[in-house]
Structure formats: C-alpha cells, structure tokens
C-alpha cells in the first residue's frame, strides 16, 4: 500500500508539473545488460577502469586504452534500450520544459529517441581529435587502432570525461539551469555520490522541486529526496507515467 501511495503521488506531481528534469546513472543501463566497468567485475587484462580511463594512461599507451574502449564498444553494441529508456522518451514529449542528464556514456538514451539530453560524462560512440579538437560520431567495430582524424590526421581519443578531467562547462551550465527550473526531479539508477551529480538533488530541492529517487538499493540520497522507490528501473519508471 505504501508503494502504491508513493506511485500515485509521483504520477500526480508529474501530471501537474510544468518542468521535469531527470538524472540517470548505471542502474538504467544495467537493466539493458550493460556491465559496469569499475570494481571487481571491471577487470580487463588485469587493468582496472581507473587505470585506463585517464589522460595519463592515454599519453602513455594510446593503443592499450583504445583496445579497451573497442572491447567496451563491442559489448555495448549488443545492447538495446529498455522500457525505462522509452518511458523517459514518452515523458519528454509531454513537457516543453524537460531535460535529461545522464552519467552514462553508452548512448542508449539517444538510441531510444531522447533529444533533450546532456551526456555529462561523454559518449563512447564519439571521438575527439587531440590536435584540432573536432568531435565526430564513430561507430566502427572494430575501430582502427590507433584511429586518426579525417580532418587533420591527428590522434583521436574517446569523447569521454576521464578521471581527473573537468566536465564540459556547457553541459554543467545546462544541467544546473534545468535543475533550478524543474518542479519534479527524477533520480534514476544512480547513487548520486560523485560530484557534481551529488549536488543535483540539493540544488533542485532548494529551488522547490519534488525529488524522486528510483534505485535498486537505498543510497545516500535516500535521506535527502522526498520519496524513494526501490526496484529495477525498467519496471518502476514506466509505472510513473501519468
């Protein structure tokens, strides 16, 4: 009964809101079968993600880093958006003021049809030239290693925000603008403990938003949000559509 009451309240809030912002993390991708690439299950040739996803690792051995990213791309290429991704596309169509902020780099939100979107950690299907800065989509499988820029011949790198790098100012500004204007914030499949995402719930609440958390387990945000639903995102998110 408690769960039903919470779902009814979320639906009512969404039905009467003028602006909605969504933050998604690894949990929504996990429901599509995308593996996590950090921790004990993220070893690749005895490397940890934290050892490879850095500017220093790329400077030291770009081929090894690209081999790892090619492996990741080949895994992700076999995955498809799930009902939670499609529910968010449906939600986007209902609001003029809607913005989706994702920490995921797999491109599944875009594949589902999301358009009002900030991929704050980048996109594994995009490459950036280390010489001229040009960013292009690239879905080659396998990708040439090392890949080179079609415009200037420079070395390409994944268009990913690596450990030790700052998020793009444009993405941050757009995200905080959306957080400050929304009436409902949905936090889906993320613990929200890594900055700047850790600041998103407090920012939205301070601006008067109703904050909802949907996650498999309780998180540090559970004590901050207005309501929390535990369960698989692919099951819970479609239930919320008003």
Q: Is 121 a catalytic residue?
A: yes
Distance from C-alpha of 144 to C-alpha of 166, rounded to nearest angstrom? 27
Quote the Cα angle for 130-101-208, to 5°.
Answer: 140
The C-alpha atoms of residue 28 and residue 38 are separated, in whole angstroms, by 16
Run of H or E residues at 82: none
What does each C-alpha distance from 170 to 59, 166, 192 come to in angstroms?
Answer: 26, 11, 20
CA distance 42 to 172: 28
Alpha-carbon gap, residue 116 to 83, rounded angstroms: 18
Q: Which of 85, 109, 121, 159 is catalytic?
A: 121
CA distances from 24 to 52, 166, 218 (A): 24, 19, 15
Of 60, 121, 195, the C-alpha closest to 51 is 60
The residues that are catalytic are 121
């Amino acid at each position: 009964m408690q769960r039903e009451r919470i779902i009814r309240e979320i639906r009512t809030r969404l039905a009467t809101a003028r602006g909605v912002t969504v933050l998604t993390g690894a949990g929504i991708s996990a429901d599509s079968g995308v593996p996590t690439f950090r921790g004990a299950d993220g070893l690749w040739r005895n490397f940890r993600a934290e050892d490879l996803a850095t500017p220093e690792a790329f400077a030291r051995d770009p081929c090894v880093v690209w081999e790892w990213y090619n492996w990741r791309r080949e895994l992700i290429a076999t995955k498809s958006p799930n009902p939670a991704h499609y529910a968010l596309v449906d939600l986007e169509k209902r609001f003029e003021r809607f913005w989706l902020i994702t920490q995921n780099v797999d491109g599944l939100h875009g594949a589902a049809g999301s358009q009002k979107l900030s991929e704050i950690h980048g996109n594994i299907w995009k490459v950036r030239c280390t010489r001229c800065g040009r960013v292009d989509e690239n879905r080659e499988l396998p990708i040439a290693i090392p890949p080179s820029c079609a415009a200037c011949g420079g070395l390409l790198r994944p268009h990913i925000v690596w450990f030790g790098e700052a998020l793009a100012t444009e993405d941050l500004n757009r995200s905080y603008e959306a957080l400050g204007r929304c009436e409902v914030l949905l936090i889906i499949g993320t613990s929200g403990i890594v900055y700047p995402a850790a600041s998103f719930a407090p920012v939205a609440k301070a601006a008067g938003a109703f904050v909802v958390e949907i996650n498999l387990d309780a998180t540090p945000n559970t004590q901050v949000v207005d309501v929390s639903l535990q369960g698989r995102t692919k099951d819970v998110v479609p239930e919320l559509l008003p």
